[in-house]
């Protein structure tokens, strides 16, 4: 297990490995942080805020976050910095140093073991996630498109976790899970969410159809 120092960027967002995240940096303390990151190794830690806010006094983060690599930097005339980042690996915070204007944590980089799940569960996750995406598109009156899913199971677990329309705290639990537990939990969450979406779809359909449109036979 690798241990390292990592500047933290607490947000009301859960970032998963392999997922891109645009950032807009405007507070002076975080502009300082980004300048340091760019001079060093262009990485920072994205953590979900447990309590507090993104702006102002230091926020208290959850212990598990995602190391993000800075790929694109766009300095604005007003001092704001727009960043393009991508999640690389998960980490767990050991301790936090608040002596700087921004927090720097000592973290353990977490390894990701291959999931031990049945082919049936994997297929259920794939099928349910595809239906979930298409149902959301229909309810939003958007055209359905092919849902491309990765063959790698860890990548699949992160893709599903990113796109589930659930609370940030529940997404955080998925981030903290092992790949095995993550896929198992996602299977349960997808079943729950699809049940609700089907009910919403049925209600929406009844409201949209005029009496003359409803089949009698």
pLDDT value, residue 202:
58
pLDDT at position 106 is: 97
Backbone φ/ψ region at 71: left (φ over 0), alpha (ψ -120 to 50), beta: alpha
| Residue from 137, 140, 138, 133 nearest 164 by CA | 133
Question: What's residue 147's pLDDT?
Answer: 87
Nearest in space to 30 (alpha carbons), one of 48, 44, 15: 44
Q: Which residue ranges make up each domain of the chain?
A: 2-109, 119-210
Domain 119-210 has CATH 1.20.58.1480: yes
- Averages of pLDDT over runs of 10 residues in the chain (217 residues) are 93 96 94 93 95 73 97 94 96 94 95 94 97 90 86 96 96 97 98 91 45 35
Q: Give the angle subtended at the CA of 86 by the CAs of 82 and 88, to the nearest 5°.
A: 145
Give the per-residue pLDDT at 144.
Answer: 77
What pLDDT was estimated at residue 81? Answer: 95
What CA–CA distance (Å, rounded) separates 32 from 30?
5
Question: What is 2-109's CATH number, 2.60.260.20, 2.40.50.140, 2.30.130.40, 3.40.50.300?
Answer: 2.30.130.40
Q: What pTM value is reported for the model?
A: 0.87
């Amino acid at each position: 297990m690798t241990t390292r120092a990592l500047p933290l960027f607490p947000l009301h967002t859960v970032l998963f490995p392999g997922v891109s995240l645009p950032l807009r940096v405007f507070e002076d303390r975080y502009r300082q942080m980004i300048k340091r990151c760019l001079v060093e190794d262009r990485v920072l830690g994205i953590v979900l805020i447990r309590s507090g806010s993104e702006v102002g006094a230091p926020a208290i983060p959850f212990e598990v976050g995602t190391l993000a690599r800075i790929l694109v930097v766009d300095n604005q005339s007003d001092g704001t910095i727009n960043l393009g980042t991508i999640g690389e690996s998960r980490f767990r915070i050991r301790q936090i140093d608040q002596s700087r204007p921004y927090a720097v944590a000592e973290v353990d980089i977490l390894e990701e073991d291959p999931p031990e799940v049945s082919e049936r569960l994997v297929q259920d996750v794939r099928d349910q996630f595809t239906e979930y995406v298409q149902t959301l598109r229909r309810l939003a009156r958007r055209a359905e498109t092919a849902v491309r899913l990765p063959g790698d199971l860890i990548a699949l677990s992160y893709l599903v976790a990113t796109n589930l329309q659930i609370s940030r705290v529940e997404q955080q639990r998925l981030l903290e899970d092992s790949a095995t537990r993550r896929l198992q939990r996602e299977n349960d969450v997808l079943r729950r969410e699809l049940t609700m979406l089907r009910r919403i779809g049925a209600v929406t359909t009844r409201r949209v159809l005029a009496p003359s449109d409803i089949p009698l036979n």
